[in-house]
Amino acid sequence: MADDPTQLNAKPAEIIDQRTAGIITTEEMMKQLLGWRYSVGQVARIDGVATDAYITGDWDSIETAFYGGQLTDEEFQRLADRQLHAGLP
């Protein structure tokens, strides 16, 4: 971690877990998540050929939390709307 200080920053899954554990409020969680620039998952490619491997992105954490009951429909919709208007890479 000393070589890469970004590893100290909480990732979306950790932020959601902090709210679930009562460490931060819903408002704090949403503020952090709405300000995040998400990466999306993709199929791994070797020499341009798709493999059966999948490289996860930050947005996968949001979907996992939603399907796991850690985000409400409204919270997920707000995040999805924000990403739609922000333009995912």
- Specify the pLDDT at position 23: 97
- Specify the pLDDT at position 6: 47
Segment 5-29 shows an average pLDDT of 89
Q: Closest Cα to residue 57, out of 1, 17, 18, 12?
A: 12
Q: Closest Cα to residue 36, out of 63, 70, 9, 2?
A: 9
**Strand, coil or helix: 32:** helix
pLDDT digits (tens, 9 = 90+) for 19-36: 999 999 999 999 999 999
pLDDT digits (tens, 9 = 90+) for 34-67: 999 998 888 888 898 888 888 878 999 999 999 9
Report the predicted TM-score, pTM, of the whole model to 2 decimal places. 0.76
How many other CB atoms are there within 10 angstroms of residue 58's CB atom? Answer: 16
